Amino acid sequence: MDDYKYLAIAEWAKRIIEERSLAAGDRFFSEAELCEIHNVSRQTVRAALAVMESENIIRRRQGSGTFVQSPGRAKSGFTVGVISTYFSDYIFPGIVTGIEQVLSRRHAVMQLATTRNLVAEEARALRSMLAQDIRGLIIEPSKSALPNPGRRGGGERPDRASDRARPQKDIRHPRFRRFTGAQALSRLPEVPRG
């Protein structure tokens, strides 16, 4: 959990709600208070609150504050890991927000990791997520523009005939199958809202 501060803050907040026996409608900590308590940025606090909001534990009202939605731990359907190279680039925030919206409609939780386009960070994020109980992964790979070292010639482009004849190495984890985005979304269970 140390690798993902926002998740640690979300878990801490859930414990506080339980320990203090906060009821639905009770005021929760403000973003500024959480920043000060945990000595983190507002962006980290907002990510923690977004996780809790997607789990229906809190609700945020612009101009009014954050309130307990349902005391105790809400049951979420499942967790999906999302690994992206950067979050600040022009296209990624919209993509990640869209993924989160689709998952939250199905009562799923998104766990986000960014790699800063470093293969070592991608490996660390993968190891961390695979060690947890997640249902799937969405990965925007690091260094995806580099030549594939598994191809003939140390990454040089082989002629088309030998390229077709020689299948590329595909690394898969036994818990997951590969789907296109549309296939994966069609397989997510619909959870009725109550």
Residue 170 has pLDDT above 60, yes or no: no
Residue 63 has pLDDT above 80, yes or no: yes
Q: What is the pLDDT of residue 32?
A: 93
CA distance readout (Å), 167 to 128, 151, 160, 173, 179: 29, 9, 12, 18, 19
Residue 81 has pLDDT above 60, yes or no: yes
Rounded mean pLDDT of 179-184? Answer: 54
Rounded mean pLDDT of 46-53? Answer: 89
Lowest mean pLDDT among 5-19, 21-35, 120-134, 135-149: 135-149
Q: Which domains does the chain have, with CATH numbers?
A: 5-68 (1.10.10.10), 76-144+177-188 (3.40.50.2300)
> How many residues in the chain?
194
pLDDT-based confidence at residue 159 (cuts at 50, 70, 90):
very low
Lowest mean pLDDT among 15-19, 47-51, 180-184: 180-184
DSSP state of 108: E
Cα separation, 36 vs 190, in Å, equals 38
What are the helix (H) ranges across the chain?
5-19, 31-38, 42-54, 92-105, 119-130, 160-165, 181-187
CA distance readout (Å), 193 to 71, 130, 159: 17, 29, 54
| DSSP-assigned states of every residue in 6-28 | HHHHHHHHHHHHHHTTPPTT-B-
pLDDT-based confidence at residue 176 (cuts at 50, 70, 90):
low
Cα separation, 130 vs 79, in Å, equals 11
Four-CA torsion 112, 48, 187, 194, nearest 10 degrees: 180
Q: What is the pLDDT of residue 160?
A: 45
Token duo for residue 125: 């994020």
Residue 194 has pLDDT above 50, yes or no: no
Q: What is the pLDDT of residue 177?
A: 58
Query: Is the full-model pTM beyond 0.75?
Result: no
Q: What is the pLDDT of residue 116?
A: 86
Please, what is the average pLDDT of the chain? 75
Q: What is the pLDDT of residue 98?
A: 82
Residue 187 has pLDDT above 50, yes or no: yes
Among candidates 55, 183, 51, 58, which has minimal Cα distance to 107? 55
Q: What is the pLDDT of residue 51?
A: 87
User: Which are the contacts of 63, defined by CB distance < 8 A and separation ≥ 6?
Assistant: none
User: Which are the contacts of 53, defined by CB distance < 8 A and separation ≥ 6?
Assistant: 59, 60, 69
